[in-house]
Amino acid sequence: MKHLRTHLAPTPSSHAPSRGVSRHSRTKAIEPLKPATHSGEASDHYYRALLETSSTAILLLSPAFIILGWNRGAETASGWIAEEALGRNFVDLCLPTNAHDSFLSILAQAIEGKEVKGFKSPLRTRLGSQVILSWNITRVLGTGADVMGLMTIGTAVVPDTQVEEDLRLAHTRFHSAARRAQRAVEEERCRIARELRDEFGLALTGLKFDLARLGTALTRSRPRTGGEDLLGTIQSMSGSVDTLLASIRATASALRPAMLDDLGLLPALECLATTFEHRTGVRCVIDVVPELSSIALSSEVSAAFFPIAQELLTNVMRHAAASQVRMRLYHDCAMVRLEVTDNGKGITHERATTPQAFGFRGMQERASLLGGYFHIVGTSGIGTTAIASIPVAECLTS
């Protein structure tokens, strides 16, 4: 018959021996679970079921520290199953020798009525290893206010060094997963941009040539009726194709500029600066240190710096009211930095840190995925400076 491990039996005398309790007496101490016949038995049933299913080590000790109750949490923490632990002296079974005195002192205080909370002590497992538990201990009184035993609840304590190591490993795994995800996003953007340029762009270009050839043939044939209307329709269709081609090129360039893959980051930034100047009339100069001009930056770094530059120039165009922008790409001993400075209104700290500043958060994430950082600061009436920094080791191609 299977017995409930956490049923609390009548407590043996405080003079009971610490060892040598017979199997018969141990088995008798753990009564089988009986069907509840009234509310008191029902409460006892639910109470014992709660103790049994708890993941925390919960023990009942006699005043002589004999184990009377031993739940599954105690089994997990110690490696001793209930049938092996019940009836044995807890101090001798589960405590290393150097912890006997301190734990016995705490148990004596609990018997006297002091409530013990957060007492940390090692627990010796069945395999001989040790785990640190934080103990809450309180005495259990009978109907005559006599001490029946001690209820001890032990919770595993994770050392600070282990917590730090777990956090470090979790951060490393998260960072690695986020970087793989970002790399997959960039590869997908590159694929879509290539399809737009190569397949849709070529198909529309071919359609435009067909329309031009059709218009030429129609002009030469000189139809008697409706010829001018057909030519007008062909010209309108050709104009629509031109508009669609321009839209596809713009979309493909926004996803992944072909120049970024074909020529690298520096020509792409120069093209970006020229385009920005032509569209806005705001003078945009770019300054690259000679050392970086001869270094091939990794595609991953280029894919981070270029959209950051795009986003910053877009913000200048929309909000800064600047008349001049300067982009610098330089490095020191540890970092390669992209700096964008304007002479506009100057961004406020509140605007840069607002939860709705998704663009700034995106730039921060791009830099941090490569071990770098991004920060932006503005001065009212003077302008704004934004800097994205990435470690030099990440910037070199493999």
Domain end: 93, 124, 157, which one?
157
The secondary element (H helix, E strand) that includes residue 289 is none
Structure token digits, residue 80: 């001793």
pLDDT at 396: 64
Which 8-state DSSP code applies to residue 356? T
pLDDT at 62: 92
Residues 245 and 276 in one domain: no
Number of domains making up the chain:
3
| Structure confidence by residue, pLDDT tens digits, 165-215 | 778 888 878 878 887 887 788 788 888 888 888 888 888 888 888 888 888
Residues 290 and 244 in one domain: no
The residue with greater pLDDT, 230 or 311, is 311
Pairing of strands 324-331, 283-288: parallel
pLDDT at 186: 77
Closest CA to 31 of 9, 48, 62, 49: 9
What are the two backbone dihedrals, phi and then psi, of residue 105, each rounded to the nearest 5 degrees? -65, -40
The residue with greater pLDDT, 14 or 48, is 48
Is the pLDDT at 39 greater than 70? The verdict is no
Cβ–Cβ under 8 Å, residues 346 and 384: yes
Closest CA to 256 of 204, 333, 198, 206: 198
Residues 147 and 28 in one domain: yes
User: With bands split at pLDDT 50, 70 and 90, how would you rate the model's confidence at 13?
Assistant: very low
What are the two backbone dihedrals, phi and then psi, of residue 219, each rounded to the nearest 5 degrees? -65, -40
pLDDT at 225: 67
Residues 35 and 142 in one domain: yes
pLDDT at 254: 77
Residues 184 and 119 in one domain: no
Residues 153 and 163 in one domain: no
Q: Is residue 10 part of a domain?
A: no
Q: Is residue 195 part of a domain?
A: yes
User: With bands split at pLDDT 50, 70 and 90, how would you rate the model's confidence at 11?
Assistant: very low
Domain carrying residue 203:
159-256
Residues 32 and 101 in one domain: yes
| Structure confidence by residue, pLDDT tens digits, 48-76 | 777 777 888 999 999 999 999 999 999 99
| Structure confidence by residue, pLDDT tens digits, 334-356 | 889 999 999 999 988 888 878 77
| Structure confidence by residue, pLDDT tens digits, 66-115 | 999 999 999 999 999 999 999 999 999 999 999 999 999 999 999 988 88
Question: How far apart (Å, rounded) are the C-alpha atoms in residues 305 and 363?
Answer: 9
Residues 126 and 143 in one domain: yes
Q: Is residue 15 part of a domain?
A: no
pLDDT at 14: 38
Is the pLDDT at 6 greater than 60? The verdict is no
Could you tell me the CATH number of the domain that includes residue 39? 3.30.450.20
Domain end: 157, 177, 195, which one?
157
The b-or-e profile of 357-381 (16+ CB within 10 A means b, else e) is beebeebbebbbbbebebebebeee
Which 8-state DSSP code applies to residue 68? E
Is the pLDDT at 36 greater than 50? The verdict is no
Tell me the mean pLDDT in the region 227-245: 85
Give the DSSP per-residue string, 91-130.
Answer: HHHHS-GGGHHHHHHHHHHHHTTPPEEEEEEEEE-TTS-E
Residues 328 and 301 in one domain: yes
Q: What is the mean pLDDT of the chain?
A: 81
pLDDT at 92: 92
Q: At what angle do helices 265-280 and 299-315 cross, to 10 degrees?
A: 10
By mean pLDDT, which of 29-38, 43-52, 206-215 is the weakest? 29-38
User: With bands split at pLDDT 50, 70 and 90, how would you rate the model's confidence at 216?
Assistant: confident
Could you tell me the CATH number of the domain that includes residue 396? 3.30.565.10
Tell me the mean pLDDT in the region 212-230: 77
Closest CA to 324 of 332, 335, 316: 316
Is the pLDDT at 303 greater than 80? The verdict is yes
Residues 96 and 204 in one domain: no
Residues 176 and 117 in one domain: no
Residues 381 and 301 in one domain: yes
Q: Is residue 17 part of a domain?
A: no
The alpha-carbon radius of gyration of the chain (Å, integer) is: 38
Domain end: 256, 272, 294, which one?
256
Tell me the mean pLDDT in the region 210-222: 83
Q: Is residue 11 part of a domain?
A: no
Decide: helix, strand or coil at residue 382. coil
Q: Is residue 14 part of a domain?
A: no
Cβ–Cβ under 8 Å, residues 375 and 395: no
Structure token digits, residue 184: 């997959």
Q: Is residue 1 part of a domain?
A: no
Q: Is residue 145 part of a domain?
A: yes
Decide: helix, strand or coil at residue 364. helix
